Amino acid sequence: MHINSVRPPSENPFENDVQCKRNDAIDSAIGFIVPFGFFFTLFAIGVLIKFLSL
């Protein structure tokens, strides 16, 4: 047991060994923006093809 630990030790061994301490909001934003950009690009290509084929 760590003396400077704020939280008591847990029964779950994975709770005490946190791999990444980054903010989850950054990962969530990337997870939203990247697929949005992909589908927007597909949409823009489709609109461009439709516009140029008139």
Gyration radius (Cα) of the chain, Å: 23
**Whether pLDDT at 1 is above 60:** no
* pLDDT tens by residue, 18-52: 777 888 899 999 999 999 999 999 999 999 999 99
Answer whether 0.75 is exceeded by the pTM.
Answer: no
Read off the tokens for 21.
């301490």
Taking the C-alpha atoms of residue 29 and residue 36, their distance in angstroms, rounded to an integer, is 10
